[in-house]
Structures are given as C-alpha cells and as structure tokens.
Amino acid sequence: MPEANKIDLSGDGGVLKEILQEGKGTETPHSGCTVSLHYTGRLVDGTEFDSSVGRNEPFEFPLGKGNVIKAFDMGVATMKLGERCFLTCAPNYAYGAAGSPPAIPPDATLIFELEMLGWKGEDLSPNQDGSIDRTILEASDKKRTPSDGAFVKAHISGSFGGHVFEDRDVEFDYGEGKAIGIAEGLEIALEKMNIGETSRIKIQAKYAFGAEGNEEFKIPPNSAVEYTGLEEWKLSDEERLAEAKAYKEKGTNYFKKENWALAIKMYTKCKNLLPNTADTNEEVKKVKVATHSNIALCHQKSNDHFEAKQECNAVLALDESNVKALYRRGQCNLTINELEDALEDFQKVIQLEPGNKAAANQVIICKQKLKESKNKEKKLYANMFTKLAANDKEFGCEAKLSKVSAPNPWRTSTAPAGGRKINENKALSSARERYNPIGTALAPCRICRQKVHQMGAHYCQACAYKKAICAMCGKKIMNTKNYKQSST
C-alpha cells in the first residue's frame, strides 16, 4: 500500500497503520476493555521475533492500562472487529534504546501484523463472573463516582432483542434505585461510572429482571438486557465551554506559580471538556488552540520536549499557520536533535513573520549545528579510513610474508617441493645452503649472512622470525602469530 494511504496515529510518524482488511461495523474497543487478537512481530529486515499465530494462542490484554508498548495501545484502540492491519512502530513507541534482547535490538523499528478477534468490556459484577459488563463509549476525565446516598442524575436507554424498552432521564439517591425501577446491575454500573461518562452495560438476568422477567417491558424470564447510560446530564455546548474556560483559568494561575504539573492537569481538563465543534465554532477553536499551546509550554518548562511536540502538532492540526506552535515545535526538535525538522519549522515562522528575529537566530543555530554534525560525520569516516590504511601499511609486509614459507628439508612426502627432486633439498641443507626458488643472485641476510628467501628481502626468514621483524624492511612486528616458519 502506498505511503500516502498509511494512517499516522501518533501525529509524528512514530506509529503508522496500514489496513489490510477492513473490519465490521463502526465500534472499536475503549480503554478498560480486554482485547483478544493475533499478532506477528517482525524487524524491518523481515526477521520474525514473535507470533501468537505460530503458538495458535490469541493474545489478550487490558487496553489503555500500559501493559503493552505504546504503539499497541494506540493502534489496537482504532481497530474494528475482524480488521487486519500492519502497525509500524518507531523505537520510542516500542522498546526504545534498550530493546528487548536477544530478539529485539536497541532502537529497533518494529512491524506488527495484527488481527482483531474481539473484545469484552470491564467486569463490574460483585463476584467477577461477567454478569455485569461495561464498555465505555465516551470517556470522561472527571474522576468522580457517586457514593452511597449521593444524588444521581443519568440518562438510561435499555434494550432487549434489538427493541428499546425504556429511554428516560432518572434522578435518585444512590442505593434507592429500585424504588424507581432501576435494575440492580444498572445501579452497580452507575456507581463505577465517572460523571460525564457514557457506557454500554450488558447485564445478565440475575442482576436485571431475574427469573420473573418484566411484563411491562416484555422481558422474558432469565433474560440478559443491555443499557446505554450517561452519568449525569449532558451539558450543553455553552455550558461545556464555560466550564472549560474555568479550568483554563485555573491552569493559568498554576502556570504563574510555576507549578507545571498542576497547570497541565487543569489545562487537560479544559481540553477534554471542550465540545467537538472547533471546526464550526471559532470561540471553541480559539480556546482549544490556546489550551494545547499552554500545555506544550508547560511540558517545555518540565523538559518533556517529546510531549510538548505532540501538543504543538495538535495546535497545528487546528491552525497550520500558528507561529507560536511552529516556533515551540522548532525548539523541541532542536532540543531532541531533529535538526532538519527544526530548521524547517523556524523557516516557516520567518515566512509568516519575516521580521521575527528570534526565529532568524534559531535558523542560524540550526544551520551551524547541521554543519557541525556533517563535519563530525565526515571526520568520523575519514578517521576510520585512515586507521584502515595505517593497518594495511603496518601489517602489509607481514601479510605478504605470511604466504611465503621456506621448504622443510626433512619432509617425507613423495610430492616434489619447489620444483626440485625428492631429497634434493635435504642434500642442499646438509651443505648449509638455503633453497632459492628464484635464483642465486639474492642478497645475504644482514644478521646471519646466509642468502635470503625472497627477492628484495634484507633478512632471512629464520632470523626475521627469531627477531620478530619484517624480513623486507626490518621493522619490529609485535604479533608473529600469522608468520609462517616451516624450517629452522
């Protein structure tokens, strides 16, 4: 599939999804679901390092709980039932600089082939027997749940066999739901739901209408039912925007106090509360852009430049000409040594604001760092080749002489040596003459004064070996391991 058809799930190219087979329906698993899938993991060179298919054992894990690599949580959350896809994961979304030895080397990009087999919701039943199953349809960051005696407002919609038997707003004190016809399993589920959360709840008979069923709703005995519940009433877009602005103001107050962690927390609440109308509502878009931008700045102050970059990407997705986001992303790229990306960001800032001196200075810095990086790389390779050449020069004579061996005058083989007759070398040796395959016009050894073995040599092989020197030039050789000496 062409690169253009790959889906960038992380916004920075770190997690790319390539659909091989479309799934069924529109539903995807949410955080808290236990998903079941098959996977095959490979390195970019095609080496397979793990596969649930080979074991014929589906892999199950709770989604969004950090039990798997980041790319898995991100990619699997977008998959429909029966979908097959490739998931390409950059090192920072997989096993990072450490890798997972011995199968996965450090800084390895991984490619997973995934097949979604299914998922089940979170088990909320008291005995953990699957009788109350919750699947979150719309999450909420408001980590508040009703306690015993608390006043609960919710919208519920119950269905059986595809037929909706009730759809109403309810208000009751928690623990007293039965008085207004709330099924026990639904009340248990509402206790676990956060304010603002929408969930689908599947309830088995013992926590629904039991062995009696419900004649009014036309529910047969011992039947499971399904509810969709929203904890607390839905705020209007205007109410959500007003509450979001209040959290944004809190975040700004913490920012002024340099409490970056709490500032990020408040800004995140603001971001999650904003209605999904940024495309049509300029005021919502303005608040959303400002919130992402402020979160990015907080992350920069906390030296978390990777997260800051993600927030800048979110701003630029809403406003591609946002100078602040481009400049801050450039700073993040420069800090994490993504020099070419940083240069591109700062140059875009100058295109939008030709008089921006800060961006112009950053362009100079980027170009200087790129030049230094290239020079360093050039020097590294130059040194590498210089060392290789030096090694060749130092050990060239040794390598050459290692191929030359003097004949053994005591050899008993019937094969002729050096073109002489059998036993002729022995006779020559006994006359204290050395074998010369080239001729007799060779210089005498400068040590023992015997004739050398090779044209151009100044030392015989025996003396060269004993003195650990090169027979050609007389240079000291530290390692005589490969120096062949067949006669003494």
Catalytic residue among 12, 50, 107, 304: 50
Q: What is the DSSP string of 198-227?
A: EEEEEE-GGGTTTTT-BTTTTBPTT--EEE
Question: Kind and range of the H or E element at 374?
Answer: helix 357-402
The DSSP call for residue 79 is P
d(CA 320, CA 157): 41
Cα dihedral 182, 188, 190, 191, rounded to 10, equals 130
- The secondary structure of the chain in percent helix, strand, coil, rounded to multiples of 5, reads 40, 20, 40
Catalytic residue among 59, 69, 73, 483: 69
Burial category of 475 from C-beta neighbours within 10 Å (exposed 0-12, middle 13-18, buried 19 and up): exposed
**Residues in CB range of 45: below 8 A, 6 or more apart:** none
Catalytic residue at 107?
Answer: no
Strand 84-89, strand 163-173: pairing: unpaired
Catalytic residue among 112, 172, 247, 465: 112
CA distances from 59 to 46, 63, 117, 120, 436 (A): 21, 12, 10, 13, 75
Burial category of 308 from C-beta neighbours within 10 Å (exposed 0-12, middle 13-18, buried 19 and up): buried
How many CB atoms lie under 10 A from the CB of residue 486?
Answer: 12
Catalytic residue at 72?
Answer: no
Catalytic residue at 50?
Answer: yes
d(CA 51, CA 56): 9
Contact call for residues 18 and 1 (beta carbons, < 8 A): yes
Structure tokens of 253?
Answer: 């107050």
Catalytic residue among 12, 19, 49, 447: 49
d(CA 93, CA 73): 10
Q: What is the DSSP string of 417-486?
A: STTPPTTHHHHHHHTT----SS-S--PBPTTT-PBPSSTT-SS-HHHHHHHTB-TTT--B-S--TT----
DSSP-derived 3-state class of residue 324 = helix
Contact call for residues 66 and 73 (beta carbons, < 8 A): yes
Catalytic residue among 12, 19, 39, 304: 39
Catalytic residue at 207?
Answer: no
Contact call for residues 86 and 113 (beta carbons, < 8 A): yes
Catalytic residue among 59, 72, 93, 95: 95
Catalytic residue at 319?
Answer: no
Catalytic residue at 465?
Answer: no
d(CA 428, CA 480): 28
* Lookup result for tokens 């080749």: 385
Q: Which of 220, 229, 37, 272 is nearest to 124 (CA)?
A: 229
Catalytic residues: 39, 49-50, 69, 95, 112
